[in-house]
Amino acid sequence: MKIYIKQIEKRDFEAARKFALDGMHLSWYVNNKVELYFYSKYVLYLELTKSTMVLGAYEGDRLVGFLFANFRGDKVVYDSWLYRLYMSIVEKTMSFFSKDDISGPYDHANKEMLEDFMKYRPDGELTFFAVDPTLKGKRIGSLLLDELTRRKKGKLIYLYTDTGSTYQFYEKRGFTISGKRNLILPIKGKGLSLTCYLFSKKL
């Protein structure tokens, strides 16, 4: 399988959204498939509007993985008032209908970890990263990280992940646990024990 890396194309945003569904437990935050579609699109736009690097891994014309990152001082690649309008509508709708405060404790834990980590003056954040779930184990994620390293050699980056995701991937790629918080989240009437991490690495 010949894979090459380039800037992700707009026509592949929908594929990227679907890849993210598998590894980011977005279904925790919604009640049905319709809500999941709109919420996953919201997450995609949220990360796009703050990312200064948007890499896609391609097999021919087919997107097979992606990596978004935000580096201090660089310009956002894809931004649009339409994306921001969509995000605003979804935020207001979710706040009106949502009964459980799931994202609040999670976001607070990430904020605390970042406040502790900022003393190291990181250069950027890996904001959004997923691979076609049917192609796991093909080193696509590693190829994307290799390209990020080639473009931003020597830069200190960080990312958020948790025990609900494949955080071991980052440990194998030389990332260090620079923050850790234990949470119990109210997921659809049940308490879910979760550990949040902030990983970091000098590329």
Residues 110, 196: Cα–Cα separation, whole Å:
7
What tokens appear for 90 in the block? Answer: 């979804």
Residues 152, 200: Cα–Cα separation, whole Å:
14
| First and final C-alpha spacing in the chain | 26
Q: pTM for the complete prediction?
A: 0.90
Of the pLDDT bands very low, low, confident and very high (cuts 50, 70, 90), residue 34 is confident
What is the tens place of the pLDDT at every residue in 61-111?
Answer: 999 999 999 999 999 999 999 999 999 998 888 776 555 556 678 888 999
Pairing of strands 176-187, 156-162: unpaired
Mean pLDDT, residues 152-158: 98
Q: Which CATH class is domain 4-202?
A: alpha beta
% the chain with pLDDT above 90: 67
Nearest in space to 169 (alpha carbons), one of 144, 202, 134: 144
Residues 203, 200: Cα–Cα separation, whole Å:
9
